[in-house]
Each structure stands twice: as C-alpha cells, then as structure tokens.
Chains A and B, each alone.
Chain A
Amino acid sequence: MVKFRKSIHSLAGKLILTVGTLMTIGSLLLGYFFITYERKIMIKNIQNYGLSSSDLIKRAIHYGMLTGQKEVIQQNIDVISMEKGIDYIRIYNPEGKIVYASNRMEIGKAPYSPSEFRKIIEAREVSGLISSGGDKILRYTVPIYNEPRCFTSQCHYHEKDQQVLGVLESAFATSEVDYILQQNRITTLLLIGLFIFGISVFLCVILYHFVSKPVAFLEAGMKRIAKGDLDSTIDIHTKDEMGLLATTFNSMTKDLKRYRENMENWTRSLEAEVKRKTNEIMRAQEELLNAEKLASLGRMAAGVAHELNSPLTGVVTFAHLLKSRTSLEDKQAQEDLQVIIDQANRCSRIIKGLLGFSRRAGFEMVEINVNDLLDNTISLVRNQARFHNIRFDIRLAPSLPLILADPNQLQQVFLNLVINAADAMNEKGVITIATRVLRTDGELLEIEITDNGPGIPEDMIGRIFEPFFTTKPVGKGTGLGLSVSYGIIKRHGGDIVVKSAPGQGASLFIRIPAQRKKTEEQA
C-alpha cells in the first residue's frame, strides 16, 4: 500500500495516471460513438433488407393473387417465411381480417382495431421496431393497391374502383443484429482495454528508463555526497534534462570538493597558526615567570644588600686602619690588608649587581676583552682549595673583538659557572674554558665552560636557570648562581645555552654580541 502510494506520488506515477485517465476517457468516448454509429448503420441495413424483402414477398404472391389461386399464395408465404430472420408474414383483407398467414392458425383473426388498421392503410407504408413478447422485431406493413391487371384478370375478383385490395405485413426478428452489435461492443471494449494496457506498459517502460532510473541514480549520488564521498560522480550521459542535471550535479560536487579542500587547508594552517601562537604565549609566560622570579630575587637581594653593606663598611674601615698602622716595610702585611679591602669592595659590587637585578639601571658598560677577564677569573679561583685537584684546559681564541659589558657582572658570571663546574665534578677533573667568534648574524662571541662531570639529567636541563633551583647538598648552594648569571647575560643582550648528556659532562655556552654600542643605562 505504501509502495503504491509512493509510486503514485512519483513523477512517473503521476504521468501514467494522467495519460492513462485521459486515454481511457478518450477511448471510451470513441468506442461509444463508434458503437452508436455502427448500430445506426446496421438498423438502416435491416430496414433496407426489410423493405426489399417485403417487395419480394409482394411479387412472389402476385401471380397467385392474379390467378386467384389461394393455395398457391399460402404456399408461397409458407416457403418465404422459412427464410432466416423472417418472423411472420400476414396478408389482411381491406376489413382488417387475416386472410393468409405464415402461421395458419391466425387466419380469420383481426389483431388491429378498425381505426388502427385504417391508419396502416393510410400510411401506405409503415415500418418500425416493436416489441413482441420480449424480442425486438422490425415490422413492415405494405398496402396492396388495385392495378389494371387485377381488375382485368380472369378471376374478376376485385372491382375497378376498389383502391386498396389488402395489406401485406411482414415482421423481421432483430435478435441476430442485436447479437452482432453485442459482439462488436465487447470486441471494441476489449480492444480499448488492450490498447490502454499496451500504452500504459509502454509508458511505464519509457518512464522507467528515462525518468525513474536516472532519478534513482541521482538520488543515490546525492546520498553518497551527503555522506561526504565527494569523489563519486553520477554517470548519466544522456542529452536530456537528466543528463544536464547530472552534469550540473557533478560540477557542483567538484566545486564542493574544492571548497572542502580549501577549508581543510585553511583549518590546517589555522591550527598551525594557533599552535605557533600558543607556543609564543607559553614562551612569553615563561619569560614573565622568569622576570617575576628575578624581581622577587631582586627584592630579596636588596634586603640582603642593606644588611651586608654595613658590616662591609666595618671590614673596609678597619682594614684601612690596620693598614695605616702597619709598617710600610712589611710589604706582605700591606698586600694582605689590601686584598681584604679589594675583596670587601668586590663583595659590595656583587651586592650592587644583585640589586641591579630588580632595577634596570646601574650597569657600568665598558669595552672589555673577554680573554683578559677569563684569565683574571681563573687566577682568582686557582688558589682556592676546591680547585686544587682541577686542571684547567684553556683554549682562548686570539684577537677577540672587544665587547661592551660590565666587567664586574661578567666576572661574577664566569666565577659562578666555574665554581658550578668544580662542584659538579666533586672538585676533581678538567674544566675546559674556550672562547670563539660565531658568525651567524652579526658577530657573536661564545665563551664555553665545560666540565667532565656526570652531566645534567635531561629533565633538569630546562630548570637549571630557575632561581633557587639547586642539586647541591643543603647549605652548599643557594640556587641563585646560575639564575643570576642568566639574568646578567640576558641583560647584556646575550644567551646561555646548555648541552649535556648523562655521564659525558656538561657544557655551558655564553653568547654575547660583539661591539655592542648601546649601554644598558640607555635601555
């Protein structure tokens, strides 16, 4: 039922229904006109037949009447009435009484009233369809007129002035004709039915091939595309509207595919962009965090600095006082006291450097030779107890370009890194110190400090510059050395890179731009 409804609502179904209905109505009308017309012709034929038969009967009995041989007339009527289709033959006298009849039992009877009979005579020729006990019959009444031969014949039966001698009535059964007409009607209806059926089947086949099948193809294609299969095409290559539709559809699919690819590319680039931005933000966040750490370090350093500067004042003052009381000839004592004064002053400068962490001012930028500063640093530490079992492998590049830097700060960095290296090796091993010029973009100076200790575990490499991060035993390291160094190098526009593998020591590379003209005070 559902399928029927569906097919009735389809394009082909509607077309078939419309064409079928029109054809059925047209065919039925045509059939009706055809049958009616045929019936008219048939009746006309029967009437002609009836008339000619009546004339034949009249002529057949003519001789008998002329000769007055009544038996011959009756015999003739008997023979003629045996003809197929003739129902009965009667001959009436002028008074309306039957004188001869195919059914002899009727002789002497008067079936018509005198007035009816007069009408028949006056009509001279009456024909028409009448019902006779269920069957339809065609009845002809023909008056028999008086002729010269009649009144001149030997019998002298009729007078000369008698106009009508009698009436011949013949009746023909129409059942045969009706049967043929019935057969014709059935045949016509059958032919119409067959015609409609044939046309419908033909239409179905045509519509299936040219409409339903391509539509189903299109539908399947659209479903595939709706599911996202943009590579599929619809293979309809006819030159009609369906073919055009399929071509348009295929080109739409192609466009869709192109748009989707563009969209995907765009999405991919967007993703990459988002990733890049995220990384940037993370980096900025890290730097912010670093800056925050350094700022709190600076605050702490400021507090410490204030506390330390007063005792240092005492150290410097009393060293001076002692020095002024010591004999100038005791050179060793004079020198020793001078070391106290110098180192106390250096302490003060270190503290100032720490203070500078939280402030962006206070650098003393001068042109310095990194090699000299490294030599100086090494000679400072070489005599310390922790460096007694350490060998320095010095590989300084000759004729380095000068750099603009704060020598105190830079020396602080070198000291921090060298002491870290010694600690990492448990104060036993080789520290390599090298300088070189890197020519990447502009001149870049690189200072390498490498130890052959156990190296830095991979998960810690990213954290070693964090303030207060230390791997040294409690009380030995503050966790500030590398952080402060990193801050100093950053403020010199440089960078520190760490390379290390477990068991293969650690290398720190300080990179500072050479010939920096702008000082930090201007920043």
Chain B
Amino acid sequence: METKGRILVVDDEEIVRISCQRILTPMGYAVETTPDGVKALELMGRNKYDLVLTDLKMPHMDGMEVMAEIRKREPEAKVIIITGYSTIEVAVKAIKMGAFNYIEKPFSPDVLITAVKEALGEHA
C-alpha cells in the first residue's frame, strides 16, 4: 500500500493515540501507536518510521529519553513532541535536543496536520 509516510504515535493516553490516528489516517499516513517509550523503541527496532509523535510525560521512559534514543538509532526519522505540560523552557529544550517541532495539547486537527506535513517535507 502506497502511503505518504509511516508515523509512530507514543502516548500513555489512549484518547491522544486514537485522536492522532483518526486525524492522520484519512490523510493517507500509516499510523501506528504505542503507550510507552520502551515499546516504541522495540517497534523501531523492527520497523522503519518516517516520523515519531511522542508525549513528554510517560511512565517508564519520558519523551526526551525516547527522542534521544531515536536520534541515535534512526537519525533520519523526524520527532515531534506533543505535551500537555507546556512551558517555553520545555519547548526550547526539546528543539535543542533535536525535535523537529513542538505541539501543545489540546491541538486541533489542522495544527497536527500542518506540523506533520512540515516534518515530512510536504508542501501544501
């Protein structure tokens, strides 16, 4: 199946995972989800993803650690941080550590789609 890109969503909240899936799938992306960072890295060992959307605060492993690991293993994969606990400092830190972008919860479908398109290099 031809897809616009393969996306992994990492968030401990099911509603966020479902939301991302319901927004991005109709747009033609292959979306997979996982509730924690450890499992995300397992999945990345098996599959290749173009983009990872990850929450910051999660059990076992937080989003910053997940991102650092992804940057090491798959330098080509883009990472967008999604968080409900936003401060300018956190955003700056995330970008410095290599995040492509930064989205605050709750986000509207348009914000998410725009960010994903930018990350995957699509031009509307």
Contact A309 B22 (CB under 8 A): no
Given known pairs A311-B15, A314-B16, A314-B18, the reply for A344 and B106 (CB within 8 Å) is: yes
Count residues of B near A (Cβ-Cβ below 8 Å). 20
Instruction: Answer whether residue A348 sits at the interface, using C-beta atoms and an 8 A cutoff.
Output: yes
Q: How far is the CB of A365 from chain B (nearest CB, A)?
A: 15
Given known A320-B109, A361-B87, contact A306–B57 (CB-CB < 8 A): yes
**B residues near A317, Cβ cutoff 8 Å:** 19, 22-23, 106, 108-109
Q: Is B4 an interface residue (CB 8 A)?
A: no
Given A305, A307, A316, which contacts B107 in the complex, CB threshold below 8 Å? A316
Q: How far is the CA of A361 from the CA of B89 in the complex (A)?
A: 10
- Is B88's CB within 8 Å of the partner chain A? yes
Chain B residues positioned under 8 Å from A345 (CB to CB):
106
Decide if A316 touches B108 in the complex (CB within 8 Å).
Answer: yes
Residues of B13-44 whose CB lies within 8 A of A: 13, 15-16, 18-19, 22-23
Residue B117 lies at the interface, judged by CB distance under 8 Å to chain A: no
A300-320 vs B, CB cutoff 8 Å, 1 = contact: the mask equals: 001001111111111111101
Q: Would you call B57 and A341 a contact (CB within 8 A)? A: no
Q: A362 near B: Cβ within 8 Å? A: yes
Interface residues of B in 94-118 (CB under 8 A from A): 104-109
A78 to B25 Cα, complex, angstroms: 192
Q: Report the bound CA distance from A226 to B81 in whole Å.
A: 85
Cβ contact of A313, chosen from B86, B87, B105, cutoff 8 A? B105
Closest Cβ neighbor of B84 among chain A residues: A309
Q: Are B84 and A305 in contact (CB under 8 A)?
A: yes
Give how many A residues have a beta carbon under 8 Å from the other chain's beta carbons.
26
- For A302, A305, A310, A345, which residue has the most chain B Cβ atoms within 10 angstroms? A310
Contacts of B18 in A (CB 8 A): 314
Report the separation of the CA atoms of residues A341 and B106 in the bound assembly, to the nearest whole angstrom.
Answer: 10
Q: Which of A318, A344, A362 has the most CB of B within 10 A?
A: A318
Cβ B22 vs Cβ A348 within 8 A:
no
Q: A312-B105, A321-B22 are in contact. Are A359 and B16 (CB under 8 A)?
A: no
Residues of A contacting B107 with CB < 8 Å?
313, 316
Chain A residues with CB below 8 A from B108, complex form: 316-317, 320, 341
Q: Is the CB of B88 within 8 A of A313?
A: no
Restricting to A327-368, which residues have a CB under 8 Å from any CB of B? 341, 344-345, 348, 352, 355, 359, 361-362
Contact, CB under 8 Å: A309 / B109 = no
Give which listed residue, B11, B57, B84, B88, contacts A308 with CB less than 8 A: B84
Nearest neighbor of A359 in chain B, beta-carbon distance: B87
The residue in B57, B84, B86, B87 that gathers the most chain A C-beta atoms within 10 A of its C-beta is: B84
Query: Which residues of A411-453 have CB atoms within 8 Å of chain B's CB atoms?
Result: none
- B23 surroundings in chain A (CB, below 8 A): 317, 320-321
Q: Which residues of A contact B106 (CB under 8 A)?
A: 309-310, 312-317, 344-345, 348
| CB neighbors of A among B60-78 (8 A) | none
> In angstroms, how far is the closest chain B Cβ from the Cβ of A496?
27
Chain B nearest Cβ from A315, distance in angstroms: 7
Q: Tell me whether A310 and B105 are in contact in the complex, defined as CB-CB below 8 angstroms, given that A317-B22, A318-B19 are known contacts.
A: yes
Residues in chain A near residue B19, CB distance under 8 A: 313-314, 317-318
Known: A306-B84, A359-B87, A362-B87. A313 touches B16 (CB 8 A): yes
**B111's closest neighbor in chain A, by CB?**
A316
Q: How far is the CA of A345 from the CA of B23 in the complex (A)?
A: 18
> Quick check: B16 and A310 within 8 Å, CB to CB?
yes
Bound CA span A308–B23, Å: 20
A314 to chain B: which residues have CB within 8 Å? Answer: 15-16, 18-19, 106
Hey, which chain B residues are within 8 Å of A308, CB to CB?
84
Instruction: Return B116 CB to nearest CB of chain A, in Å.
Output: 14
Complex Cα gap A309–B19 (Å): 13
Chain B residues near A305 (CB, 8 Å)? 84-85
A309, A320, A321: most-surrounded residue (chain B CB, <10 A): A309
**A498 CB to closest chain B CB, in angstroms?**
33
When distances are taken between beta carbons in the complex, the residues of chain A under 8 Å from B11 are 310
Judging by beta carbons under 8 Å apart, are A321 and B88 in contact?
no
Q: For A321, what are the chain B residues with a Cβ–Cβ distance below 8 Å?
A: 22-23, 109
- Whole-angstrom distance between the alpha carbons of A39 and B104 in the complex? 144
Query: Which residues of B lie under 8 Å from residue A348 when comparing CB positions?
Result: 105-106
- With A and B bound together, what is the CA distance between A318 and B105 in angstroms? 14
Chain B residue numbers with a CB within 8 Å of A315 are 106
Q: From B110, which residue of chain A is reached at the shortest CB distance?
A: A320
Return B51 CB to nearest CB of chain A, in Å.
18
Distance in Å from the Cβ of A26 to the closest Cβ of chain B?
112
Q: Which residues of A contact B88 (CB under 8 A)?
A: 361-362
Of A310, A344, A362, which one neighbours B84 at CB under 8 angstroms?
A310
Return chain A residues, CB-CB under 8 Å to B13. Answer: 310-311, 313
Contacts of A307 in B (CB 8 A): 84
When distances are taken between beta carbons in the complex, the residues of chain B under 8 Å from A306 are 57, 84-85
Query: A361–B22 Cα gap in the complex (Å)?
Result: 34
| A87 to B22 CA separation, bound complex (whole angstroms) | 178
What are the residues of chain B within 8 A of A309 when measuring CB–CB? 84-85, 104-106
A/B interface sample: 6 pairs, CB < 8 A:
A310-B15, A311-B13, A313-B16, A317-B23, A341-B108, A362-B88
Ranked 4 nearest A-B pairs via Cβ: A309-B84, A314-B15, A317-B19, A309-B105
